[in-house]
Amino acid sequence: MKKIVVLGSINVDTILNIDRLPLPGETMAMHDRSTAGGGKGANQAIAAVRAGADTSFISKIGKNHAADFMLDTFKDDGLKIDHVTEDEKAGTGKAYILLDAKGQNSILIYGGANQTITVEDIRKAKATIAEADCLITEFETPLEASIEAFKIAKENGVLTILNPAPAKQNIPAELLKLTDIIVPNETEAEAITGIKVDDRQSMENVSNKLHTMGIKNVIITVGASGSFYSQGERNGFVNAYKVNTVDTTAAGDTFIGYLAAKLDSDLSNIEEAMKFASKASSITVQTQGAQNSIPHVRDVEI
């Protein structure tokens, strides 16, 4: 069984259903409001464990009811949470999701305890990271923690996957050089490289720039169109599955968790893993919410 470690965020999501995004200064009524588990790190960890991987999670929560709600969810899925610790002062992270009638979303994040993860927290998880096949992280937790985790991973021959989300410019060169695979969407790819992603050539241009920044393997996700990969001399495109989209929340996180669970250590099956991840994501977008929409491997057919 593949061993995966995810370093990332925990959020409790509040989903606000609206017809469209409000204009500046506009007051708008909601159709509905709901609460669900979320956070990019937690979503990716749950996706990996539901994909069949032995998955450990490194994160932080506050001391409140929201924390209990999230921990119960993790235990139900069989996620290993020895390195999910409590912060005495900061609250559990929260996300406020504006979901429009077409299934597209805009998200506001309160980092809370996610932003209190330290280098020392990572060092306490060193043995767990060293024993993994793959380590995943994103940008909803401190960069210093991510760099330390990736250092430990590379010292022990562990594959590293960076999801550069939320979009960020000026990513530390040290982190990029420790990254085996970077998985941005088109917005994140443009933020990193300054190149707008709108066709196959632009994806190749983005990938080439990321290669010059020290990353050997690039996967760019482009929503309902699919995903592009580049390994330098080799590249290709995997089409998305066409489905009726209800909510795109956690689609990218599902893709990454399933990708990591399927990917061989030498990356020789990258297209097969991307198809597997794309299928899982196509199921996620058909249900409203984040973690509740992430499928189990028995429901994902290739």
Binding site listing for ATP: 185, 221-226, 252-253
Rounded to whole angstroms, the Cα distance separating 6 from 275 reads 21
Rounded to whole angstroms, the Cα distance separating 79 from 149 reads 19
Please work out, in degrees rounded to the nearest 5, the angle formed at the alpha carbon of residue 260 by the alpha carbons of 195 and 255: 55
Task: Out of 77, 253, 264, 299, pick the active-site residue.
Answer: 253
For residue 253, indicate whether it is catalytic.
yes
**CB within 8 Å of 183: residues ≥ 6 apart:** 161, 162, 163, 164, 219, 220, 221, 252, 255, 256, 259
- DSSP for the chain? --EEEEE---EEEEEEE-SSPPPTT-----SEEEEEEE-HHHHHHHHHHHTT-EEEEEEEE-SSHHHHHHHHHHHHHT-EEEEEEE-SSSPPEEEEEEE-TTS-EEEEEE-GGGGG--HHHHHHTHHHHHT-SEEEE-SSS-HHHHHHHHHHHHHTT-EEEE---S--SS--HHHHHT-SEE--BHHHHHHHHS----SHHHHHHHHHHHHHTT-SEEEEE-GGGEEEEE-SS-EEEEEPPP---S--TTHHHHHHHHHHHH--TT-TTHHHHHHHHHHHHHHHTTSSSSGGGPPPGGG---
Q: Which residues are annotated as a binding site?
A: 11-13, 39-43, 140, 185, 221-226, 247, 249, 252-253, 284, 287, 289, 293
Q: Which residues are annotated as a binding site for K(+)?
A: 247, 249, 284, 287, 289, 293
Give the catalytic positions in this structure: 253
